[in-house]
Amino acid sequence: MSPESVGIDDSQDVLYRLADQESGEVLIAAEDLLDYFMEEDREPPETVTFVRAHRVGRARRKTERAELQVVDRQGGTIGAYDIGRVSAAFRHELVPSGEDRPDLGYTFFGHTCEYPRAGEIWRQWATRRPVEPGEWARHPSDWHESWLHVVQTAWFESGRGATRYETGGTAVINSTAITTRDGFYCALGEAVNGPGGYFGSNLDALFDCLRTVRRDEAAPFRLVWRNFAASREALGSDFTERVLALFQECGVETELS
């Protein structure tokens, strides 16, 4: 199969699309991605590799405004990254004609994602929806920062805002799995907005969520924080006291057990 005949495949294997933001044209779609989700202290590679490409856009091999889209099994976008300038790092005539799903590289000019587990989490979200209750806690603690990043990215991509959407009057945090501050925000987002839910990723963002709830005159809610002593030990008394102060300032009743 020649490169120009590699077109959009509607199979459920596609996980990533690289698109031009102005025209909406898909430059390439692929089943996986290498060297984009990386440790913060790693040197960015020269190219990002699209694994088993399902499209090679012949008309556009570069753009000044690229968007990397994460797609689910139905082809819907569940996350997106503003990449900026990209350029194909291959020549069409050098793509093996016998491979219907070649691995192809694009140069991302200075853009990588510093959440190394995000790619694996995106695959879980794309292939197994909805997110299960407590799913974040089944991962090791060094995954929680990446999980929180995926939560925040997907939340705003879906068009939802920094506020509370669940209708129940009580949100419950169980501190058993909370060992990091990222884990706390994963637990809080799930308690307030359901599995995969977002309700802040740092103290400023938490305050924005609480302030929006109060501004929109949403129904008040109680927060039950179970095993609070374990949270205070893991996260530090200074952090937990600042969190409680924000809840109090914004009119959220808290019960510590």
The CATH number of the domain holding residue 182 is 3.30.370.10
**Domain count of the chain?**
2
- pLDDT value of residue 130: 86
Among 71, 101, 118, identify where a domain stops.
118
Specify whether 94 is located in the same domain as 178: no
79 falls within a domain: yes
82-90 average pLDDT score: 90
Specify whether 8 is located in the same domain as 114: yes
Show contacts of 135-142: CB within 8 Å, 24+ apart: 135/195, 135/196, 136/177, 136/183, 136/186, 136/187, 136/190, 137/176, 137/177, 137/183, 137/186, 137/187, 141/179, 141/180, 141/183, 142/117
33-40 average pLDDT score: 88
23 falls within a domain: yes
81-91 average pLDDT score: 88
126 falls within a domain: no
- pLDDT value of residue 214: 81
Specify whether 106 is located in the same domain as 156: no
**pLDDT > 90? residue 115:** yes
Percent of the chain whose pLDDT exceeds 90? 65
240 falls within a domain: yes
Residues with Cβ within 8 Å of 252's Cβ and at least 6 positions away in sequence, in order, are 210, 220, 221, 222, 223
215 falls within a domain: yes
Specify whether 100 is located in the same domain as 166: no
123 falls within a domain: no
Specify whether 102 is located in the same domain as 20: yes
Specify whether 90 is located in the same domain as 171: no
Specify whether 14 is located in the same domain as 101: yes
- pLDDT value of residue 86: 93
- pLDDT value of residue 215: 80
Specify whether 7 is located in the same domain as 113: yes
**159-181 per-position pLDDT tens digit:** 999 999 876 789 999 988 899 99
d(CA 99, CA 240): 55
Specify whether 174 is located in the same domain as 97: no
136 falls within a domain: no
pTM of the model: 0.89
- pLDDT value of residue 89: 87
Cα within 13 Å of Cα(226), Cβ side: 10
Which of the pair, 13 or 139, is modelled with greater confidence?
139
Specify whether 78 is located in the same domain as 112: yes
137 falls within a domain: no
Is the CB of residue 60 less than 8 Å from the CB of residue 121? no
The first and second tokens of residue 179, run together, are: 């060992």
**pLDDT > 60? residue 107:** yes
Which of the pair, 17 or 111, is modelled with greater confidence?
17
237-257 average pLDDT score: 95
Is the CB of residue 199 less than 8 Å from the CB of residue 188? yes
Provide the domain limits for residue 39: 3-118
Specify whether 158 is located in the same domain as 225: yes
